[in-house]
Amino acid sequence: MAGPHPAVAAVRGAVAAALADLPDGARVLVACSGGPDSLALAAGAAFVAASRARRGAPGPRVGAVVVDHGLQPGSADVAGRAARDCRALGLDPVEVVAVDATGPGGPEAAARDARYAALDAAAVRHGAAAVLLGHTRDDQAEGVLLGLARGSGARSLAGMPAVRGVLRRPLLGLSRAETVAACAALGLDPWHDPTNTPAVGDAGAPARSRVRARVLPVLEEELGPGVAAALARSADLLREDADALDALAADLLARAVAAARAPAPTGPADARDPVGAAADAAPGPVVLLDTGVLAAAPAALRHRALRAAAVRAGAPAGSVTRAHVAAVAALVTDWRGQGPVHLPGRVAASRACGRLALRAASPSTDPGDVVRAGPGARRAVEPDDEGDPQR
């Protein structure tokens, strides 16, 4: 008896591996849009659950969540169709969640934020141990190209992790061609999002769609097949590097905090240390750092530690850019008596007595957050989607 189509086997194997560590009978939800990637994922998850049940093992209890962003005419019909497909595969429960995809950061960012909020809420509502997302190797490659175009650093270029909290991406090692082939082999009729194939010259189409439809195909044609796989491999390598650097930066931050909190050699701290005294009196979170410890560290670690300190003090993670971090770093490595650096979230960084203090500040009189390092000032750059300190 012939086995399943290779693409079907690949999807099933990837899903089984992604769920292997879950306890027996764990609730799993598939985020399904009805497209080929998520529909193949739903079919793979349904098969894994049924296969374990046939062997007498309590496999995962698989349901689905269909998020209707309401961004296109007929989106409710598309969501309803995806829900019917999931039920036909045996998934239960299956629910459609309509979200408000308007918000800051543009339509793509707003839709993404609304989608993930809906999935988080669904996981809590159903007690899910995992929510499966249908991102493929091609999605990873597209993200790397977009990060390169933004001038991002290792963390953004590392792309999407296979696991982050309750979210899991079993198909990151598979291509989009494989998910399309799997759907065809299983007789599934996926929905194809028209925004994924924008017309030539349509500059208003989502950036990711333009990369998918026009940029990657050109690279594959000019540089040879395998470009997407190579970009995804680079993301894996960069993730390893970024994880190691982040761990070292966390240790640097802890040492800088400990050194800044050490007692002054002589005299009471409040008499000789205005920064420490102000930190003790401040109503909100204050992060004190020893500039000597920071200055002795490599720039890659110092910048990561400073970004983490800014976030700990109250700056929104996604709004702290390379320009902000560089301005704060100048207080450590290029100290000339300059005034405070103002960061997003009304956080200010200032230096005195060999210590750097990051604390919540009163609102700036400027129309928006600015980066100041000395007498000049300039408007902050747009925030990186991933809050990458290397941008």
Could you give the CA distance from residue 330 to residue 333 in angstroms, rounded to a whole number? 5
Query: pLDDT at position 265, please?
Result: 53
Model confidence band, residue 276 (pLDDT cutoffs 50, 70, 90): low
* Under 8 Å between Cβ of 132 and 18: yes
pLDDT of the residue at 103: 76
Dihedral of the CA atoms 179, 184, 190, 194 (nearest 10)? 80
Mean pLDDT lowest among 256-260, 289-293, 317-321: 317-321
The more confidently predicted of residues 256 and 284 is 256
Q: What is the largest CA-CA distance in the chain?
A: 85
- Asked if pLDDT for residue 367 goes beyond 90, the answer is no
User: Could you give the percent of the chain with pLDDT greater than 90?
Assistant: 70
Contact 170, 41 (CB under 8 A): yes
Q: What secondary structure letter does DSSP report for 152?
A: -
Q: pLDDT value at position 284?
A: 61
Confidence of residue 104 (pLDDT cuts 50, 70, 90): confident
Confidence of residue 45 (pLDDT cuts 50, 70, 90): very high
Label residue 207 by pLDDT band (50, 70, 90): confident
Q: In the prediction, which pLDDT does 274 show?
A: 54
Distance CA 331, CA 278 (A): 18
Which residues partner with 341 through β-bridges?
349
Chain segment 321-350, per-residue pLDDT in tens: 999 999 999 999 999 999 999 999 999 999
Q: Which long-range contacts (CB under 8 A, 24 or more apart) does 244-249 make?
A: 245/154, 245/300, 245/301, 245/304, 246/155, 246/304, 248/301, 249/300, 249/301, 249/304, 249/305, 249/308
Residue 116: what pLDDT? 95
> By mean pLDDT, which of 36-50, 169-183, 249-263, 275-289 is the weakest?
275-289
Distance CA 18, CA 161 (A): 12
Which comes out higher in pLDDT, residue 252 or 109?
A: 252
Q: Write down the mean pLDDT value for the chain.
A: 86
Cβ within 8 Å of residue 136, ≥6 positions away: 37, 171, 172, 174, 175, 176, 178, 179
Which residue type occupies 351? Answer: R
What pLDDT is attached to residue 1? 59
- Tell whether the model's pLDDT for residue 365 goes beyond 60: no
Structure-block tokens of residue 156? 């953004």
- pLDDT reading at 55 higher than 90: no
d(CA 331, CA 329): 5
pLDDT classification of 27: cutoffs 50, 70, 90: very high
Higher pLDDT, 372 or 49: 49
In this predicted structure, what is the pLDDT of residue 362? 55
Q: What share of the chain is helix, strand, coil (3-state, %, to 5)?
A: 50, 15, 35
Share of the chain above pLDDT 70, in %: 85
Q: Calculate mean pLDDT across residues 266-288.
A: 57
- Give the residue, 271 or 69, on which the prediction is more confident: 69
Label residue 198 by pLDDT band (50, 70, 90): confident
- Inform me whether the pLDDT recorded for 278 exceeds 60: no
Q: What is the pLDDT of residue 375?
A: 33
pLDDT score recorded for residue 361: 67
